[in-house]
Copies of this chain bind each other. A is one copy, B any other.
Amino acid sequence: MSWENNVRKVIPYVPGEQPTGDVIKLNTNENPYPPSPRVKKVLAEFDIDTLRKYPDVYGGTLQAKLSEVYGIDKDKVFVGVGSDDVLATAFLTFFNSDKPIIFPDVTYSFYDVWADLYNIPYEVIPLKDDFRIDREDYIRDNGGIVIPNPNAPTGALKSVEDLEYIISNNSDSIVIIDEAYIDFGGKSVLPLIDKYDNLLVVQTFSKSRSMAGVRIGMAFGCKALIKYLNDVKFSINSYTINKLTEAAGTAALEDEAYFKETVAKVIATRERVKPILKQLGFDFPDSASNFVFATHDTVPAEEIFTSLKERGIYVRWWNKPRISNHLRISIGADEEMDELINALKEITTR
Give the interface of A toward B (CB within 8 A): 1-15, 18, 25, 28, 30-35, 37, 39-40, 43-44, 46, 48-57, 81-82, 84-85, 88, 92-97, 113-114, 116-117, 143-144, 171-174, 197-198, 206, 210-215, 224, 228, 230-240, 242-245, 248
Contacts and interface: CB of A to CB of B under 8 A. Distances in A.
Contacts of A174: 3, 6
B214 A7 contact: no
A39 B53 contact: no
Contact of A244 (B3, B56, B245): B245
A49 B43 CA distance: 13
A172 B143 CA distance: 37
A55 to B, nearest CB: 5
Contact of A235 (B37, B96, B113, B210): B113
B172 A2 contact: yes
A51 B28 contact: no
B43 A48 contact: yes
A9 B231 contact: yes
A18 B54 contact: yes
B3 A236 contact: no
Contact of A6 (B9, B34, B94): B94
B240 A81 contact: yes
A94 B7 contact: yes
B53 A32 contact: no
Contacts of A197: 1
A57 B231 CA distance: 27
A93 B7 contact: yes
Contacts of A93: 7-8
A215 B54 CA distance: 8
27 contacts: A2-B172, A3-B94, A3-B198, A5-B97, A6-B95, A7-B96, A8-B92, A9-B231, A10-B235, A11-B235, A12-B231, A12-B234, A18-B53, A30-B53, A34-B52, A43-B44, A43-B244, A51-B211, A52-B212, A54-B206, A55-B212, A55-B213, A81-B240, A81-B242, A82-B237, A213-B242, A213-B244
B243 A213 contact: yes
Given A43-B44, A244-B245, A245-B244, A51 B237 contact: no
Q: Quick one: which of A12, A31, A113 has the most chain B CB within 10 A?
A: A12
A338 to B, nearest CB: 19
Contact of A213 (B40, B54, B173, B210): B54
A152 to B, nearest CB: 15
Q: Quick one: which of A28, A52, A82 has the most chain B CB within 10 A?
A: A52
A9 B85 CA distance: 19
A95 to B, nearest CB: 7
Contact of A52 (B4, B32, B82, B95): B32
A239 B211 contact: no
Contact of A231 (B10, B35, B55, B224): B10
Given A51-B212, A116-B235, A242-B244, 18 more contacts: A3-B94, A3-B198, A12-B231, A15-B239, A18-B56, A34-B52, A37-B48, A43-B44, A44-B46, A51-B210, A51-B211, A81-B242, A82-B237, A85-B236, A85-B240, A88-B237, A214-B243, A244-B244
